[in-house]
Amino acid sequence: MNSIVVKNLTKKFGSFTAVDEVSFEVKRGEIFGFLGANGAGKSTTIKMLCGILEPTSGDALVGGFSVAKEPDKVKQNIGYMSQRFSLYNDLTVEENIDFFGGIYGLEGNLFEERKKWVLHIANLEGKEKLLTSSLPGGIKQRLALGTAVIHKPQIVFLDEPTSGVDPISRRNFWDLINSLSAENITVLVTTHYLEEAEYCNNIILIDAGKLIAEGSSKQLKTNYIKVPIFEIECSNVVEAMELLEKQDFVGETSIFGNNIHVITNEKFKDESQIHNLCKSSSINVKRINKIIPTLEDVFIHLLEKGKK
């Protein structure tokens, strides 16, 4: 069953098309990654999906409601959390939960039940009386997500929720996202960190308002980069990189410590090309491994291709 069905969704601001005929579907309970560079149209799309911004044309069904025709119904059935957590710092954890419960009109037993659920799922039990301003970033973040789902929406939108959060807190946060998904809540998340996109069941990538790739992390890595990628361990990495960049069989290079990652292109034939090149420039190659692209490689590759 689909939680979100987007069909030819388009938004124009004057002559500028911010979102251009975008279509995709998100299954109920799925963790769905929405990727794109700054200015690609992510925020505009999310605003439309949340019923805050009216589409110029096309439509999307969010939790079964049309964002074009029933934006208020859409708003009641979703949760939203942005990188700027909308928490009250001078309230305690519990008071913040109470406040958001009030906004969503929860009362009596149902409210008490939900409050317990939020404290449990966000791992905040025992922290009820702490002042929000005194909490570390990672805990604030879980509280922000907890309050955003107190009404148990069918879908929750997370807009760059983990910007600047440390690895341990990030992992705890993803545990929370997984718990929501386990309760059949659909999670649509935008992030700049491609390693995080690995946690998603499905991913879409947009560029200049257009959808340019979709699939699971595995599908993205196998379907969208057909050229081989190598990791080269060698002496003088910086010189080696500059040399490789000039070759017609090389698309992209980047340095990883004492290694270079090389994304080749269709002109590439075999590894001897790299060996010969390095030999003639007295660069000592210790090893060359063919590697699986990272999501970042795929992403950059597709965006570069889009520019050409």
Partner 1 sequence: MEQIIQIENLEKSYGTIHAVQNISLSINKGEMFGLVGPDGAGKTTTIRILCGLLLKDSGDVKVVDKDISKYRKEIQKSIGYLSQKFSLYGDLTVDENMEFFAEIHNVKDYKERRDELLEFTRLKSFRSRLADKLSGGMKQKLALACSLIHKPQIIFLDEPTTGVDPVSRRDFWKILSGLLKEGMTIFMSTPYLDEAERCNRVALMNAGKIIALDTPQKIKEHMDNFVVEIVCTPVRKAYELIKGITELEVQMFGDRVNVIVKNYEKEIPVVKKLLEKNSVEILDNRIITPSLENVFMHLIKEAS
Q: Which residues would be at the binding site for partner 1 (CB under 8 A)?
A: 31, 37-39, 83, 136-138, 160, 163-169, 171, 178, 181-182, 192-195, 198-202, 216-218, 238-239, 241-242, 254-259, 294, 296, 299-300, 303
Length of the chain: 308
57: β partners: 10
Instruction: Pick the closer one to partner 1 by CB: 14 or 257.
Output: 257
Instruction: Pick the closer one to partner 1 by CB: 74 or 205.
Output: 205
Nearest to 264 by CA among 256, 275, 273: 273
Give dist(CA 118, CA 93) in Å, integer: 11
Instruction: Pick the closer one to partner 1 by CB: 38 or 282.
Output: 38
Q: How far is the CB of 61 from partner 1 (least distance, A)?
A: 24
Q: How far is the CB of 59 from partner 1 (least distance, A)?
A: 28
Quote the tokens at residue 153. 């929406």
Instruction: Pick the closer one to partner 1 by CB: 77 or 264.
Output: 264
Q: How far is the CB of 139 from partner 1 (least distance, A)?
A: 11
Quote the tokens at residue 151. 């009404």
Buried b (16+ CB within 10 A) or exposed e, 92-123: bbbebbbebbeebebeeeebeebbeebbebbe
Q: How far is the CB of 190 from partner 1 (least distance, A)?
A: 11
Q: How far is the CB of 31 from partner 1 (least distance, A)?
A: 7
Instruction: Pick the closer one to partner 1 by CB: 17 or 294.
Output: 294
Buried b (16+ CB within 10 A) or exposed e, 243-269: bbeebebbbbbeeeeebbbbbbbeebe
